[in-house]
A and B are shown apart, each in its own frame.
Chain A
Amino acid sequence: MISQFFILSSKGDPLIYKDFRGDSGGRDVAELFYRKLTGLPGDESPVVMHHHGRHFIHIRHSGLYLVVTTSENVSPFSLLELLSRLATLLGDYCGSLGEGTISRNVALVYELLDEVLDYGYVQTTSTEMLRNFIQTEAVVSKPFSLFDLSSVGLFGAETQQSKVAPSSAASRPVLSSRSDQSQKNEVFLDVVERLSVLIASNGSLLKVDVQGEIRLKSFLPSGSEMRIGLTEEFCVGKSELRGYGPGIRVDEVSFHSSVNLDEFESHRILRLQPPQGEVRLTVMRYQLSDDLPSPLPFRLFPSVQWDRGSGRLQVYLKLRCDLLSKSQALNVRLHLPLPRGVVSLSQELSSPEQKAELAEGALRWDLPRVQGGSQLSGLFQMDVPGPPGPPSHGLSTSASPLGLGPASLSFELPRHTCSGLQVRFLRLAFRPCGNANPHKWVRHLSHSDAYVIRI
């Protein structure tokens, strides 16, 4: 049971504060929370903190702190899940989650909280149930534009393509039940994978981990059955075998409780009865580790020359993109921590659209776009100051200087899934009366979670 809920800006200003039970100190707890959080030593976890019989549990989301207090020994899993759900819900209703949108929509947020929690107990968090009760309309800062390129991330990646999905349409606020429904009928189905990889300094692969999700956003006015066909060779677990090829294999799958799996065993079809109106849900989650069907998207070949005597450090990085030649990676950024106090940088880059700079003790190499099959390189020279070591001898000659590496890459791979999983089709078993066919957007995207290469 929750005593209080509040949202703080990244600077600790209270944006929302609600006391559900009136049993605890009052509103200065928000300030107390922020003080405790900022005063915490680095090795202690801020996730759960304690003060005078009260537990603070919080998540950070979009630069905001969403915090609950409770005096009971609650389930941390449920509470964190609730906080994430609240973040999604507020984002859905306000259009996006951020300091600006929250403070513009204070009334809406309170209205939502009032329906979601009563006396500190969760009542419902389902978007479509809440729609019946929410009366306030979201205040948005600017009108939606189909070609708004400013939104980044999942949908931003696609806008640079010729076949554009309306980038901001999927981030428009949920509309209350009484507002007019004249907008387009649209369904978004996204297969999103997060890739985390660790490569040893000798190039051997230490770890691959893919976390995937199929997300549905439906703005259809009337709901009836929806069928999602997945790759037929989709296998779950190490032992299952399907089709004649190597198959698409994942280790674990879980489905949203509303998914009907009658046709899953036979045809890999998910049936879904989305409730009426706007729906946002994660249809399926899956994960796989170690065996990827396709080569890794990037290989990095670093070579480091380090003259301890003069403090001269030369790093040559060659980056090869192993995607198919018709695919490409976007917003590629390489981050390489450097020894403390590195001062100068001279660079030679293999193409003009790249950029590299020294920032916060690290080298940042930006490659806006990398075509599959291509190879890019950069040569960086730096000076590492400090007392010149004795002429190198013994154990330290070969080693690169302390503090160099590991390199980490971040990127987005539009229209690519690392697991190979594809949505074959998305069928809607209904015709909205009088309206044109609904627009269906099926998109695939992989992005890096942690792609680390030891130097």
Chain B
Amino acid sequence: MPYLGSEDVVKELKKALCNPHIQADRLRYRNVIQRVIRYMTQGLDMSGVFMEMVKASATVDIVQKKLVYLYMCTYAPLKPDLALLAINTLCKDCSDPNPMVRGLALRSMCSLRMPGVQEYIQQPILNGLRDKASYVRRVAVLGCAKMHNLHGDSEVDGALVNELYSLLRDQDPIVVVNCLRSLEEILKQEGGVVINKPIAHHLLNRMSKLDQWGQAEVLNFLLRYQPRSEEELFDILNLLDSFLKSSSPGVVMGATKLFLILAKMFPHVQTDVLVRVKGPLLAACSSESRELCFVALCHVRQILHSLPGHFSSHYKKFFCSYSEPHYIKLQKVEVLCELVNDENVQQVLEELRGYCTDVSADFAQAAIFAIGGIARTYTDQCVQILTELLGLRQEHITTVVVQTFRDLVWLCPQCTEAVCQALPGCEENIQDSEVDCNSPLLLEEEKDMAVRDRGLFYYRLLLVGIDEVKRILCSPKSDPTLGLLEDPAERPVNSWASDFNTLVPVYGKAHWATISKCQGAERCDPELPKTSSFAASGPLIPEENKERVQELPDSGALMLVPNRQLTADYFEKTWLSLKVAHQQVLPWRGEFHPDTLQMALQVVNIQTIAMSRAGSRPWKAYLSAQDDTGCLFLTELLLEPGNSEMQISVKQNEARTETLNSFISVLETVIGTIEEIKS
């Protein structure tokens, strides 16, 4: 077909649709209409033939009718006046003897999405609710929700709601589920459809009549029901038991979640359910569908947070295969890290070692970091593997191994000895390679760490608390028994049960927090780097801790965005134009290294614009930060000569006390900690 501009196409189709010869030939007529639909799908504007399409709706050919109605639903918002012309035909079809025609017409009419259509659809919907054909009732029930949403913020029609509640007893299972959906939308303002005891038990009894989609949805609605007694609770759990065995993953996960929520006071029941869902989850993890596999892996990790040993005997299921996409391999490596125990550590490390020489440098890096993570518990084996990797003399491997060693020494002082013993043998190798710049770090004491890293290091120490920080930094030899940043205590199942079988585990909790915040504020720059990425050298902080890192500066719904460096000019201009929003004095004694402060601030996404030299008096620093809604915080730090106080002045470009307070508490924490460290 020659390329035609959309105007030419419309002209040509218009001519064809008006051609009486074509109109007389059913197949040809239908073909022209199909072409209209095809162009519509490709994104060409076909609204120009609306009139002709309206005419084409008056036909006995049901295929043609369907195509025309599809067309009308797409363009009705653009041509509301013309669409009204079609209402007649639609209304007539709503009382056609054929239930399929009635249903089709009602569905299409309710989907027209144009102002003024409500008055025409109300009566057909009411008739449809009492239609003898279940097909039409299904359409009519959802039509109620469509009608309600067309009205915008109109009030709820009590009679209609009552009718829908009574239709929950309909014979047809799809009508029942549609009623729940429709009520949920109509009653959104009031908190959705009410699931009281009679309704809950009615739904439970109808469950077996529903198909998998209906079951999954009803399970979700039942989450809001609170059983009145323990006895009732266990009755319900018994009824639900068979759905844990469903062949549909959606139903199994829905049932699991309902179990977890209902049994929130009975940890042993929860554990029991998580044991039973193991099989289906593992099956999904080795599913042919990569997407399903990924989602299942995310949920496995979720469970591992509470029950670290849960999948340990199935560790082989999480071995990567060559053809898997990257994002699945990375998830599997994370899972392997989390389920490692005394029995499987040998095999898991063996497997991970294989990945370290993968052609994909990113994957190799992830595997090396994973070994580094396991080294905190199984130091000797891991250090040995890492040392052997240095022997390969591959630039990208060596770099990552060195980094891993460094992290290990910092995070896990008891490993220092093992690392130091491992190193002399391969010193030659490291220096041989082109990346020896990192190696001296390893061999020297913490006090000579690169400045940037020291900031990071201090920041991580903040997470463990001031007292431990003091102990580590003040003792010349680190305490070998001190497990720094060990995995946080196992989280109770109840902390994530409500996230199970939702998108939260799939995005990861940190990313999800950003998303929901964006949605709340209706302002979001999606191109911003994910906030979790500010934990600059990723592997140091396993996923778990990342979330904690985020929570710390995050108190009071403040989210500072990384890398928003202002120019000095801009800073000055803004600084001069604003009034001081907050002033405060913190105790401050003695000397300190400004770089340390700068780096510690940087990890919480506060940028330093300018700073006096160390030791100078008065000493000043100017800082800037920006949160995810665009609010700027400009700060001046001032140390007067002979004064043992640091003066803080903060300016804000939008007057918002809440975020200001959060910002100040972040600032206080950082400065307070630096102060504690040096004293």
B348-395 residues at the A interface, CB under 8 angstroms:
350-351, 354, 357, 359, 362, 366, 388, 391-394
- Residues of A with C-beta under 8 A to B290: 47, 60
B413-448 residues at the A interface, CB under 8 angstroms:
none
- Residues of A with C-beta under 8 A to B351: 206
- Residues of B with C-beta under 8 A to A51: 526
B510-534 residues at the A interface, CB under 8 angstroms:
511, 515, 518-519, 522, 524, 526
Is B94 positioned at the interface, with any CB of A under 8 Å from its CB? no
Q: Give the segment of A113-121, A147-155, A221-229, A428-436 that binds chain B.
A: A113-121
B245-290 residues at the A interface, CB under 8 angstroms:
245-250, 252-254, 279-280, 282-284, 286-290
Give 25 CB contacts A-B under 8 Å.
A19-B74, A47-B294, A73-B503, A73-B504, A77-B254, A77-B292, A77-B296, A81-B250, A106-B34, A106-B37, A107-B34, A121-B177, A123-B138, A135-B62, A135-B63, A198-B316, A198-B319, A211-B287, A254-B280, A282-B247, A289-B316, A335-B322, A396-B392, A402-B394, A408-B322
Given contacts A53-B519, A77-B292, A48 and B503 within 8 Å (CB-CB): yes
Is A312 positioned at the interface, with any CB of B under 8 Å from its CB? no
- Residues of A with C-beta under 8 A to B502: 73-76
The distance in angstroms between the C-alpha atoms of A256 and B388, with both chains bound, is 51
Q: A452 to nearest B CB, angstroms?
A: 6
Against B, the Cβ 8 Å flags (1 = close, 0 = not) of A102-127 are: 01001100110010001101111110
Against B, the Cβ 8 Å flags (1 = close, 0 = not) of A54-84 are: 0100111000000000000111111111111
Q: Given A50-B507, A106-B38, A449-B321, 19 other A-B contacts at CB below 8 A?
A: A14-B41, A16-B41, A22-B77, A43-B366, A48-B295, A50-B511, A75-B220, A75-B253, A76-B502, A80-B291, A81-B292, A107-B67, A114-B66, A196-B286, A254-B247, A395-B388, A396-B391, A402-B357, A402-B392
B392 touches A257 (CB 8 A): no
Against A, the Cβ 8 Å flags (1 = close, 0 = not) of B604-646 are: 0000000000000000000000000000000000000000000
Is B305 positioned at the interface, with any CB of A under 8 Å from its CB? no
Is A450 positioned at the interface, with any CB of B under 8 Å from its CB? yes
A399 touches B392 (CB 8 A): yes
Is A194 positioned at the interface, with any CB of B under 8 Å from its CB? yes
A84 touches B359 (CB 8 A): no
Q: A140 to nearest B CB, angstroms?
A: 16
- Residues of A with C-beta under 8 A to B504: 73
Q: B601 to nearest A CB, angstroms?
A: 28
Is A44 positioned at the interface, with any CB of B under 8 Å from its CB? yes
Is B216 positioned at the interface, with any CB of A under 8 Å from its CB? yes
Which of the residues B70, B388, B501, B526 comes within 8 Å of A50, measured between beta carbons?
B526
- Residues of B with C-beta under 8 A to A123: 138, 174, 178
A22 touches B327 (CB 8 A): no
A76 touches B327 (CB 8 A): no
Is B139 positioned at the interface, with any CB of A under 8 Å from its CB? yes
Max chain A CB contacts within 10 Å: which of B246, B291, B515? B291
Q: B285 to nearest A CB, angstroms?
A: 10
A118 touches B526 (CB 8 A): no
Which of the residues B43, B212, B321 comes within 8 Å of A196, measured between beta carbons?
B321
For the residues of A in contact with B, the DSSP-based class is mixed
B283 touches A252 (CB 8 A): yes
A58 touches B142 (CB 8 A): no
Count of B interface residues, CB-CB < 8 Å: 94
Is A295 positioned at the interface, with any CB of B under 8 Å from its CB? no
- Residues of B with C-beta under 8 A to A14: 41-43
A207 touches B354 (CB 8 A): no
Report the nearest B residue to A42, measured CB to CB: B326
- Residues of B with C-beta under 8 A to A125: 211, 213
Which 6 pairs of residues, A with B, have the shortest CB-CB distance?
A: A78-B250, A450-B321, A395-B391, A45-B327, A122-B213, A207-B316
A211 touches B286 (CB 8 A): yes
Report the nearest B residue to A87, measured CB to CB: B289
B220 touches A119 (CB 8 A): no
Is A25 positioned at the interface, with any CB of B under 8 Å from its CB? no
Against A, the Cβ 8 Å flags (1 = close, 0 = not) of B147-181 are: 00000000000000000000000000010011001
Report the nearest B residue to A50, measured CB to CB: B515
Q: A453 to nearest B CB, angstroms?
A: 10
A206 touches B394 (CB 8 A): no
- Residues of A with C-beta under 8 A to B515: 50
Given contacts A73-B502, A209-B286, A408-B323, A136 and B63 within 8 Å (CB-CB): yes
Is B506 positioned at the interface, with any CB of A under 8 Å from its CB? yes
Q: B7 to nearest A CB, angstroms?
A: 19
Q: B523 to nearest A CB, angstroms?
A: 10
Q: B628 to nearest A CB, angstroms?
A: 14
Is A172 positioned at the interface, with any CB of B under 8 Å from its CB? no
A289 touches B317 (CB 8 A): yes
B216 touches A118 (CB 8 A): no
B524 touches A52 (CB 8 A): yes
Given contacts A42-B362, A118-B107, A76 and B506 within 8 Å (CB-CB): yes
Is B463 positioned at the interface, with any CB of A under 8 Å from its CB? no
Against B, the Cβ 8 Å flags (1 = close, 0 = not) of A274-316 are: 0000000010010101100000000000000000000000000
B146 touches A119 (CB 8 A): yes
B321 touches A198 (CB 8 A): yes
Given contacts A121-B178, A209-B286, A287-B286, A43 and B322 within 8 Å (CB-CB): no
Report the nearest B residue to A59, measured CB to CB: B291
The distance in angstroms between the C-alpha atoms of A454 and B181, with both chains bound, is 52
The distance in angstroms between the C-alpha atoms of A406 and B358, with both chains bound, is 9
Is B145 positioned at the interface, with any CB of A under 8 Å from its CB? yes
Is A337 positioned at the interface, with any CB of B under 8 Å from its CB? yes
Max chain A CB contacts within 10 Å: which of B41, B181, B321, B388? B41
The distance in angstroms between the C-alpha atoms of A106 and B328, with both chains bound, is 33
Is A17 positioned at the interface, with any CB of B under 8 Å from its CB? yes
Is A15 positioned at the interface, with any CB of B under 8 Å from its CB? yes
The distance in angstroms between the C-alpha atoms of A73 and B351, with both chains bound, is 36
- Residues of B with C-beta under 8 A to A59: 289, 291
Which of the residues B42, B211, B506 comes within 8 Å of A126, measured between beta carbons?
B211
The distance in angstroms between the C-alpha atoms of A256 and B433, with both chains bound, is 59
Report the nearest B residue to A105, measured CB to CB: B34
Q: B140 to nearest A CB, angstroms?
A: 11
Report the nearest B residue to A110, measured CB to CB: B70
The distance in angstroms between the C-alpha atoms of A385 and B100, with both chains bound, is 70
Given contacts A77-B249, A78-B250, A123-B138, A17 and B41 within 8 Å (CB-CB): yes
- Residues of B with C-beta under 8 A to A408: 321-323
Q: B289 to nearest A CB, angstroms?
A: 6
Is A27 positioned at the interface, with any CB of B under 8 Å from its CB? yes
- Residues of A with C-beta under 8 A to B245: 254
A405-454 residues at the B interface, CB under 8 angstroms:
406, 408, 449-450, 452, 454
The distance in angstroms between the C-alpha atoms of A194 and B211, with both chains bound, is 28
B295 touches A114 (CB 8 A): no
Is B236 positioned at the interface, with any CB of A under 8 Å from its CB? no
Is B669 positioned at the interface, with any CB of A under 8 Å from its CB? no
- Residues of A with C-beta under 8 A to B328: 45
Is A394 positioned at the interface, with any CB of B under 8 Å from its CB? yes
A452 touches B322 (CB 8 A): yes
Given contacts A76-B506, A80-B295, A209-B317, A403 and B283 within 8 Å (CB-CB): no
Given contacts A81-B249, A126-B211, A76 and B526 within 8 Å (CB-CB): no
Is B87 positioned at the interface, with any CB of A under 8 Å from its CB? no
